[in-house]
Copies of this chain bind each other. A is one copy, B any other.
Amino acid sequence: MPPTESNTTRKNLLSAGITVFAKKGYKEATVREICKQADALNINSINYYFGSKQGLYREILELIFSEYNRHAPSPAPDLTPEKRLKRFITTFCTMLYKGGAAESDLTAIFVSEMTSPSPFIQDIVDRYNRPRVEANMDMLRELLGPDAPDAMVRDCLVSVSGQILYYSFAWPVFSRLFPEHSTQATYAQWADHVFTFSMGGIHVLKKQLKSQSQEDMT
């Protein structure tokens, strides 16, 4: 039985796995290529250390999402909801685009797990995404006011998330339409834009809510 202690081959396999899984996707990534990338001449090392190709991938997924979780903003109920929205957008954009949209291996695996999820997605969503989503729903509810229905709060969260995530999955198309653009160089401006744009959207919806409740009075 391989122990879990510090082992350089094991670590090499993990980081090589991240690289190859990101570039090729789960199915097209081969254990032979990962081993070669990890300077492990024997193709059996993945089975030795992780039981199987899927075992390696599971461990990589855990590694990536806990890393995301570590960088994500800790709850700060003392901040105004505006500042919390700004923080959410900025840190998310930074995580996704700081190293460049297409170049980041972690972003690539993150996206492939969204579009074609592995068997581990339910667990990942429950442990990592759900708590953050609930916190963000609360934040948006504060921004929209207590009269905002749940559907509207959810729609706003989707509007914000959709903007943030766009480059991460549409990059192969976008980069061909705007070849000169670089998310690495402009991710901070993009975060600013998403914040401004979204505050405008939220403002309109809030106003719309108010006029509706006034109509109900008459």
What is the minimal beta-carbon distance from A20 to any residue of chain B, in angstroms? 14
Chain B neighbourhood of A145, CB < 8 A: none
- Chain B residue numbers with a CB within 8 Å of A194 are 159
Copies of this protein, total: 2
| Residues of B with C-beta under 8 A to A173 | 113-114, 117, 121, 125, 129
What's the interface size class on A, roughly?
Answer: 35 or more
Q: A169-B115, A170-B114 given as contacts; is B28 within 8 A of A177 (CB)?
A: no
Mask, A124-167, CB within 8 Å of B = 1, is: 01100110010000000000000000001011101101111111
Majority secondary structure, A binding face: helix
Other A-B pairs beyond A114-B172, A159-B193, A200-B204, 20, CB < 8 Å: A25-B116, A27-B27, A27-B28, A113-B173, A114-B173, A115-B115, A115-B169, A117-B173, A125-B176, A126-B176, A133-B177, A152-B193, A155-B193, A161-B170, A162-B163, A163-B163, A169-B169, A197-B198, A200-B205, A201-B201
